[in-house]
Amino acid sequence: MYYKALQVKYFKPRSLEEAIDILTKIRGSKVLAGGTDLLVDLKTGRVSAEALVDIGSLKELRGIEDLGDRVRIGATTKLQEIVESDVMAKELPLLRKAVENMGSWQIRNLATIGGNLCNASPAADTAPPLLAYEAELVIVGPKGSRVVPITKFFTGYRRVALEEGEILKEIVVKKSTWSGWSYIKLGRRSSFTLSIVSVATLISIRDGVFEDVRIALNSVAPTPIRAYAAEEYLRGKEVSLSALERAAEIAREEVSPIDDVRASAWYRREMVFRLTLDSLKSSLGWS
Amino acid sequence: MQVSFKLNGNWVSVEVEPGEILLDTLRLRLGVKSVKRGCERGECGACTVLLNGKPVVSCLLLTAQVDGMDVMTVEGLRSDPLFGALVEEFVRNFSIQCGYCSPAMLLTTYAYVRKVLEGKRRASVEEIAKAIEGNLCRCGTYPRVVRAVASVLSKVMASPQP
């Protein structure tokens, strides 16, 4: 053939156990979920793999379930399924909103939520909402299953807390009542683009005071992050514009962006201030 | 390796390399030339096919992954009345210029129109534009594509469904 196929072996395990077994035994094997990041990386040579283990059709890894006090999202649930899910719209609107603007329809029909997390791009768009919701990640591997809070999942630039042979199985979010939420993604254009800065906020207000605040950002550090100092500043404060502005200033100091093709570090820092402020205002219903 | 999938309504079985993308299998092994090679990075949408009825890019999809699935290209929609109505509106609205993006644009908009009809709801210009965000048209026919889709929707919804 004129066009060269990727030189990899391909495995399609019929169970999660078999997938873990192949991953453990075959050197240089990688998990293939939707493939929309991995195949690009393999084609460009940024990532290499001897073998691909396709977990995309394993039933136990699919689907969105409302479990009463929490919501379970299978790791290979397609992004478009999240956009179209009634459970998502009702229970996790912040996540749904972020996913709606990821990739294109064609990409969202292939790409998976677990793939977006495990690929661990600093610009991963599912990360800020899940960091804000403090989702728990169920990971299975040769030694059994364990739960890792998403706040401990991203361990460094494009690195995650997955050991050899381990697979992200599902994402679990405990239901909680929030007074407001907001997601703002700044890209170079409005659709089908990578994030320059994205911010997700969740707020809980009681008697005019911030009871709880979550602020999560992407593309402004080696991993997606929470702005813990800004959150801490607001907790217990009376709701006021000056408090929001101070929190946004603190967030600006918490980030460590770099210059890249999409924007300069300076610009990103300024946008962290602006978008955090806008997102907090929007969470409060201030336009 | 041997892969079998439904292509435009008929089961095909084809010997492919494990790391081969569906785009190459369709064009080079099965002669389906409506599926265009563009960026090969999932950005341009020229290689769009319908996988189990949903638009996907065939450049970021291994043929091995579609084993047992349903793949549809414009070749398979020739006798579909709704597709015919959509093509007619594309022609009437001059929604095609050079034609390179057109088969993919037609597949995406066909899937969108079906989705709207199945949901029995109204569409908006913004929503149509959002549906085709993954189909680049360097001739800039976007407003005309949106017009064609809006037009076919209003006609189909006003009359008994084909």
Asked if residue A287 is part of any domain, the answer here is: no
Last residue of a domain, one of A176, A199, A215: A176
Mean pLDDT calculated for residue range B138-161? 91
Same domain, A103 and A203: no
CATH code of B2-73, in short, is 3.10.20.30
Same domain, A110 and A240: no
Asked if residue A159 is part of any domain, the answer here is: yes
Considering chain A, what is the average pLDDT of its residues?
A: 96
State pLDDT tens for residues A186-203: 998 888 889 999 999 999
Residue A226 has pLDDT above 60, yes or no: yes
Which pLDDT does position A2 carry in this prediction?
54
Q: Which of A3, A36, A52 sits opposite B60 (nearest CB)?
A: A36
Distance from CA of A274 to the nearest CA of B (A): 26
User: Which segments of chain B belong to CATH 3.10.20.30?
Assistant: 2-73
8 Å CB contact of B65 and A6? no
Who's near A268: CB < 8 A, 6+ residues apart? A196, A197, A219, A220, A255, A257
Three-state secondary structure call for residue A134: coil
Residue A1 has pLDDT above 60, yes or no: no
Give, in order, the Cα–Cα distances in Å from A272 to each of A130, A191, A198: 18, 20, 8
Which pLDDT does position A96 carry in this prediction?
98
Residue B162 has pLDDT above 60, yes or no: no
Mean pLDDT calculated for residue range B101-120? 96
8 Å CB contact of B130 and A191? yes
| Chain B residues closer than 8 Å to A107 by CB | 42, 57, 60, 134
State pLDDT tens for residues A236-286: 999 999 999 999 999 999 999 999 999 999 999 999 999 999 999 999 999
Residue A3 at interface with chain B, using a CB cutoff of 8 Å: yes
Asked if residue A21 is part of any domain, the answer here is: yes
Q: What percent of chain A has pLDDT over 70?
A: 99
User: Which segments of chain B belong to CATH 1.10.150.120?
Assistant: 79-158
Same domain, A163 and A62: yes
Last residue of a domain, one of A137, A152, A176: A176
Q: Which domain holds residue A220?
A: 180-282
Region of poorest pLDDT, from A7-16, A131-140, B26-35, B117-126: B117-126
Asked if residue A158 is part of any domain, the answer here is: yes
8 Å CB contact of A107 and B134? yes
Residue B63 has pLDDT above 80, yes or no: yes
**Chain A nearest-CA residue for B40:** A40
Torsions phi, psi for A141 (to 5 deg): -160, -170
Same domain, A141 and A185: no
Q: What percent of chain B has pLDDT over 90?
A: 93
Residue A287 has pLDDT above 80, yes or no: no
8 Å CB contact of B108 and A106? yes
Last residue of a domain, one of A133, A149, A176: A176
Q: Which listed CATH number (1.10.150.120, 3.90.650.10, 1.10.10.10, 1.10.540.10) goes with B79-158?
A: 1.10.150.120
Considering chain B, what is the average pLDDT of its residues?
A: 96
Asked if residue A51 is part of any domain, the answer here is: yes
Confidence of residue B122 (pLDDT cuts 50, 70, 90): confident
Same domain, A46 and A28: yes
Mean pLDDT calculated for residue range A11-29? 97
What number of C-beta contacts closer than 8 Å exist between A and B?
97
Q: Which of B45, B48, B133 sits opposite A191 (nearest CB)?
A: B133
Assign 3-class secondary structure to B109-157.
HHHHHHHHHHHCCCCCHHHHHHHCCCCCCCCCCHHHHHHHHHHHHHHHH
**Preferred mutation among B54, B56, B114, B121 to probe A, highest tally of A CBs within 10 A:** B56
**Domain count of the fold of chain A:** 2
Distance from CA of B60 to the nearest CA of A (A): 6
CATH number for the domain spanning A188: value is 3.30.390.50
Structure-token pair, residue A212:
């709880």
Length of chain B (residues) = 162
Same domain, A154 and A188: no
Give, in order, the Cα–Cα distances in Å from A274 to each of A6, A168, A202, A250, B92: 43, 34, 17, 12, 46
Which pLDDT does position A189 carry in this prediction?
85
Same domain, A74 and A104: yes
Same domain, A71 and A104: yes
Residue A3 has pLDDT above 80, yes or no: no
Q: Which of B1, B24, B43 sits opposite A1 (nearest CB)?
A: B24
Three-state secondary structure call for residue A74: strand
State pLDDT tens for residues A89-105: 999 999 999 999 999 99
Confidence of residue B160 (pLDDT cuts 50, 70, 90): low
The pTM for the full model equals 0.96
**Preferred mutation among A46, A104, A108, A190 to probe B, highest tally of B CBs within 10 A:** A104
Same domain, A71 and A211: no
